[in-house]
Amino acid sequence: MARRDPLANTPELIRRIYSYVAYRVGDGPDAEDVTSEVFERALRYRKSYDPSRGEPVAWLIGIARRCIDDAMMRPRAESREQPDVTSSEDLEADALQRLTVAAAVDGLDERSRDLIALRYGADLSARQIGEILGLKTNAVEVALHRTLARLRPELEETPPTASGPASSLPPASEQSEKASGWA
């Protein structure tokens, strides 16, 4: 029986892993470095992937979590600066929204930040998150609902923009419906 290549859909996997990492360490060079390290390790240990233990994205998230922990332990040589971006959009509103989301997410405990990163960064379902974290799907849904309820007051103060991590969070009404199983 031929083994399935865990890196067969590389562009989609890179997008999902980068998004997850960016939720955890912030956009930009740090997230790019960690994402590169994830895929370097995945290539090196590709033969260790066991499809019976889960989907490739779950395997990569596991690697990403270890890479993030490693990156947090390393001293930083330079401060984290956002790249200069010129756009016709309202940069001030976009920057304010990103800072608001980053501050709100940074104010959460480690488990809640990880749940948000897995759900909205890596775009995983509650079932997939449960498999990664060893939790039941319902427990993940409840934890996400409670986490979003803690975030909602801070996020509703700033109007949403079309880009950035905040735009991936669903509206409050949709969050409640999904958490209750009605969506």
Q: Report helix angle 126-133 to 137-156, nearest 10.
A: 110
Question: What tens digit of pLDDT does each residue of 105-153 get?
Answer: 888 888 888 888 899 888 889 999 998 888 999 999 999 999 989 888 8
Q: How far is CA 47 from CA 44, 56, 82, in A?
A: 8, 12, 37
CA 68, CA 44: separation in Å to the nearest integer? 18
DSSP state of 75: P
**How far apart are the two ends of the chain, measured CA to CA in Å?**
39
2-6, 34-38, 127-131: the lowest-pLDDT one: 2-6
